[in-house]
Amino acid sequence: MKVLKFGGTSVGTVASLRNVKNIVESQPGPVVVVVSALGGVTDMLIDAARKAASGSNEWRLVYDKILMRHEDVVFGLVAQDAQEKVWESVRQLLHRLRDYYRGIELVEDLSARTLCKVVSFGERISSLVISHIITGARHYDSLNFIKTENWFGRDIADTELTSRLITATFNDLEAGVAIVPGFISTDRDNGDITNLGRGGSDYTAALIAAALGASVLEIWTDVDGFMTADPRIIKSAYVIPHLSFLESMDLCNFGAKVIYPPTIYPVFHKNIPIKILNTFHPDAPGTLITDTHRTQVPQSFRGVSSITDVSLISLKPNVLFPSPALRNRALNVMSKKGVDILLSTHPESDDTVLEFALRREASKYALECLRQDFDGECTLADIPEITETHDVSTVTVVGENLKSDASAMQRVIHTLQRHGIEVFAHAPGSSGFAQTAVIPSDRLHEALALLHANFLE
């Protein structure tokens, strides 16, 4: 049994959906196919909601575009005798969506929960339409079996409950094709519509693959595989034929957009291989991700990734060098409040400050948590100076062999500094397979190009 996931890039147009149809119909089955919203539609749904919330009726123009995109697909691909019936079901969903927009415009307010409802229409409609395009397919609704719980204001999957519900839902699949909307979910406590985060369809597919013990999770997208760098930035990036779970996890956690980061863990845990394949080039070998721990490739560096919009929080203690206790305390404060830290420096080095890199959107809250904690318990003289630097990015080099390559980080830093790129902070990842440096955002592309040219070409 296989799980295939097709992203927005693969289900964007009539032409690309023809490829999807061919790929799915050539599978022996049983097969679960997870689909995203039509490419660009999630952005449009959000854009229209924001316009409506600002009291502007311009949302109608965006809504009309969304309607036309789906109309093209229904009348371009659904069998002629079923077109009217399918369009009627789609139209009902679109009318519900329009009612939401009218309501948002009226009250000029958009709560997080309402936005979740609005964006859910992308996958609800695409999966319904695709289930009528693929011969013999049956539609299954993720809202019934992908369950989330609220964790510090974020919706995260309740993997245990979800796994049980998936097993119960698909026990009748036999040799058929199931079409499932990615991304969307419901709150386990109150049934509200939620989602797994932007790019979350990959994660839906992984949760299903893990629960059903699939033989493989295939992620079909618009590139030939997992590449040594983001091909939109580095033109000479090339496909990596084989990666380990941990290497791919590090690359994705540090910004490689090709797989949504939480995706890897459930399948890694069940030792289910992942393949990255190209919908527009289905015969290309792609990338295979497995649990092989020792790569056969002698080179240390397998890939490079980056995250923009990072903040660097610096803690300068009133003593000369920060202690490990101070670092642990700061890390505990932030993680107990649900703040994800990308990188933290180690006080063993001769630095006089401790640095924590995190996504920009989390930094205001993280600073509040830190200031509150230190304010509450320290005497005035012990309160460290806490500052924040914006406009920084992380660059991360990854490779299993980096673990035994003691000079790797020094070579990376040296390469960057030789070209005048300041390194504000650096640290290894917890797996030992990644080394990350924090640099000014305006030098990011240059840094990626340098690291790729020096270590991957």
Q: Binding of ligand ADP at residue 9 (CB under 6 A)?
A: yes
Residue 122's binding partner out of ligand ASP, Mg ion, ligand ADP, none, with CB under 5 to 8 Å set by partner kind? ligand ASP
User: Strand pairing of 184-187 and 137-139?
Assistant: unpaired
Choosing from 16, 19, 36, 148, the residue that interacts with ligand ASP (CB under 6 A) is 36
Question: Nearest to ligand ADP by Cβ — which residue?
Answer: 7
Annotate 50-83 with three-state secondary structure. HHHHCCCCCHHHHHHHHHHHHHHHHHHHCCHHHH
DSSP codes of every residue in 375-414: HHHS-GGGPPEEEEEEEEEEEEEE-GGGGG-TTHHHHHHH
Residue 200's binding partner out of ligand ADP, ligand ASP, Mg ion, none, with CB under 5 to 8 Å set by partner kind? ligand ASP
User: Which residues between 172 and 211 bind ligand ADP (CB under 6 A)?
Assistant: 199
Q: Name the residue nearer to Mg ion (CB basis): 36 or 393.
A: 36
Contacts with ligand ADP by CB under 6 A: the residue count is 19
User: Strand pairing of 303-316 and 274-278?
Assistant: unpaired
Residue 230's binding partner out of ligand ADP, Mg ion, ligand ASP, none, with CB under 5 to 8 Å set by partner kind? ligand ADP
Q: Binding of ligand ASP at residue 9 (CB under 6 A)?
A: no
Q: Name the residue nearer to ligand ADP (CB basis): 5 or 327.
A: 5
User: Strand pairing of 147-151 and 154-157?
Assistant: antiparallel
Please report how close the Cβ of residue 7 comes to Mg ion at its closest, in angstroms.
Answer: 5
Two tokens, residue 366: 């993280």
Report the largest interatomic distance among the alpha carbons of the chain, rounded to a whole angstrom. 78
Residue 177 amino acid letter? V
Q: Binding of Mg ion at residue 429 (CB under 5 A)?
A: no
Backbone angles phi, psi at 335, to 5 degrees: -70, -30
Choosing from 10, 11, 23, 122, the residue that interacts with ligand ASP (CB under 6 A) is 122
| 50-56, Cβ contacts within 8 angstroms, sequence gap of 24 or more | 50/110, 52/101, 52/102, 52/104, 52/105, 52/110, 53/104, 53/105, 53/108, 53/109, 53/110, 54/108, 55/105, 55/108, 56/105
Q: Binding of ligand ASP at residue 200 (CB under 6 A)?
A: yes
Please, where are the H alpha helices in 261-400?
A: 264-269, 324-336, 360-377
Q: Binding of ligand ASP at residue 78 (CB under 6 A)?
A: no
Choosing from 62, 227, 277, 358, the residue that interacts with ligand ADP (CB under 6 A) is 227
Between CA 240 and CA 413 the distance in angstroms is 24
Q: Binding of ligand ASP at residue 198 (CB under 6 A)?
A: yes
Choosing from 2, 4, 7, 274, the residue that interacts with ligand ASP (CB under 6 A) is 7
Q: Name the residue nearer to ligand ADP (CB basis): 96 or 257.
A: 257
Q: Write out the residues near ligand ASP by the rule CB under 6 A.
A: 7-8, 36-37, 42, 122, 182-183, 198-201
Q: Write out the residues near Mg ion by the rule CB under 5 A.
A: 7, 199
Q: Write out the residues near ligand ADP by the rule CB under 6 A.
A: 7-10, 36, 199, 221-223, 226-227, 229-232, 256-258, 303
